[in-house]
């Protein structure tokens, strides 16, 4: 297993659109294991392959307190979203130390492949629904700060650029 470097906003690679996985093979299983290790280490509750500069439709999520209930979504598709919307405070490992509210559908149904390449569909609400939608945005090249005002986005961008310069 390996820890993978996480891209930070405003890295343009975060805007790459991920391609579908053609075959769930050992290489994909290794990517999932490395992504899970990276998410647990960060620590985070989710991670999309885009964030580790791999442009394939792979997501890992673990919302459990004991960090032992990994959920893997390969080629995820939202098949239904509720009309009801909800605001949640979101964070992102690619936008360290910033949290802000985003409005999204309160419930979604998502269809995906699991680690064995088997199709499954789940209905999600609460934080799982938020996290799935947030991670699926990453696969489409969208970072949650793009839901915020351009002023907030510019402030975040310049703070993170400054932080990156100081880290050199």
Residue 36, classed as helix, strand or coil, is helix
Which of 90, 129, 145, 148 lies at the binding interface for ligand K1U (CB under 6 A)? Answer: 90
**Which x/- pattern, by CB under 6 A, does the window 125-144 give for ligand K1U?**
-----xx--xx---------
Q: How far apart are CA 87 and CA 20, in angstroms?
A: 29
Assign 3-state DSSP to the chain and report helix, strand, coil percentages, each to 5: 35, 25, 40
Site string for ligand K1U, 20-59 (x = CB under 6 A): -----------------------xxxxxx--x--------
Only segment of 64-72, 79-87, 89-97, 157-165 that touches ligand K1U (CB under 6 A):
89-97
Any catalytic annotation for residue 146? no
Cα–Cα distance for residue pair 77/97, rounded to 1 Å: 29
Q: How many CB atoms lie within 10 A of CB 146?
A: 13
Q: Assess 92 for contact with Zn ion (CB under 5 A).
A: yes
Catalytic residue list: 135
């Amino acid at each position: 297993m390996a820890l993978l470097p996480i891209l930070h906003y405003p890295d343009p690679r975060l805007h790459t659109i991920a391609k579908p996985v053609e075959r769930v093979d050992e290489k994909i299983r290794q990517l999932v294991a490395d992504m899970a290790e990276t998410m647990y280490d960060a620590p985070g509750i989710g991670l999309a392959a885009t964030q580790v500069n791999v442009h394939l439709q792979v997501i890992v999520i673990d919302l459990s307190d004991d960090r032992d209930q990994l959920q893997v979504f390969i080629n995820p598709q939202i098949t239904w979203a509720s009309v009801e919307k909800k605001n949640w405070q979101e964070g992102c490992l690619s936008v360290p130390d910033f949290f802000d509210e985003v409005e999204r559908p309160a419930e979604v149904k998502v269809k995906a492949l699991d680690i064995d390449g088997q199709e499954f569909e789940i209905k999600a609400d609460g934080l799982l629904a938020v996290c799935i939608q947030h991670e699926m945005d990453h696969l489409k090249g969208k970072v949650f700060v793009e839901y915020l005002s351009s002023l907030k986005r510019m402030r975040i961008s310049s703070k993170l650029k400054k932080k990156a310069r100081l880290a050199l």
